[in-house]
Amino acid sequence: MNPDLLRDLSIQAFKTILLASGPVLLVSLITGLLISIFQAVTQIQEFTLTFVPKIIAVFVCLFVMAPWLTKIMVDYAHDLINNIPNYIR
């Protein structure tokens, strides 16, 4: 395995990781920001108010985006398996 192939594999892996985790992290970030603003405005400092809505939002996001996330991961695995002969050289 030469360095160029290893670099290409690393880039593809990082791109897949960012595509798969990015939307879920973005939903979590926006939900947390909205809850923080709500808590600052109302001065409610409830511990569960920060975690429960984020968990619900992340699960809803994962449920809605599951087909797309699965397609991304299956395509990555398919490319890896199909290119095994190139990796052995």
Structural domain of residue 38, as residue ranges? 3-88
Whether the pLDDT of residue 58 is over 90: the answer is yes
Residue 31: other Cβ atoms inside 10 A: 19
pLDDT-derived band of residue 79, with 50, 70 and 90 as boundaries?
A: very high
Residue 24: partners with Cβ closer than 8 Å, 6 or more residues away: 58, 61, 62, 65
The label of the residue with tokens 């991304």 reads: 72
Which of 77, 78, 75, 68 is closest to 22 using CA atoms?
68
Alpha-carbon span 2 to 47, nearest angstrom: 51
Whether the pLDDT of residue 89 is over 80: the answer is no
Number of domains in the chain: 1
State pLDDT tens for residues 1-47: 788 888 999 999 999 999 999 999 999 999 999 999 998 898 888 87
DSSP string, 66-84: HHHHHHHHHHHHHHHHHTH
